[in-house]
Amino acid sequence: MVQDGRVSVKRPLAVTIPAALLLAAPLLQLGAVYLGVRFLGFGEPRLRAHLIYGIAAPVVGWLLWRMRPRARFAFYVFASCELVRFWLHGLVHWEVPLLYTGLIAWLYTPPARAALPLVKDTERLHAFARPRRGSRRS
């Protein structure tokens, strides 16, 4: 759909919700630390939590929001690391593994798979292949 010279993209809810959660992560982390409240893993006053929720989460959220080709993979890696991190800390917050497992499952729904298709093997190979001298790829 083109409106006023801009292309509008219909973003499915299965992509919008995880993207919005990850884009809001820095504000949730700072607010939780400031108020002294821990919820959904936010509020841990350590540097690694600020790095995870202040840098990594917004980058993955931006990839999802823009529906980049590797956005689903980036989210799977981020969510898996979060699951491992919370299991190593003794499942202090039971809702975190439930949330991330649900979001991973949600990205397997047909609307999310249509918006964020898997990267094909040929696309991966072309990304790393060097062009030969004198030849042009189209």
Q: What angle do CA 44, 48, 51 make, to 5 degrees?
A: 105
Bridge partner list, 89: none
- Reported as a single tens digit per residue, the pLDDT across 58-92 is 999 999 999 888 888 899 999 998 888 888 876 56
Pair 76, 119: CB distance under 8 Å: no
pLDDT at 5 > cutoff 70: no
The pLDDT value given to residue 103 = 87
Cα distance between residue 56 and residue 64, in whole Å: 12
Percentage of residues in the chain having pLDDT higher than 70:
75
Query: What predicted TM-score, i.e. pTM, was given to this entire model?
Result: 0.74
- Reported as a single tens digit per residue, the pLDDT across 11-21 is 778 888 889 98
Longest CA span, the chain? 62
The domain ranges of the chain are 11-128
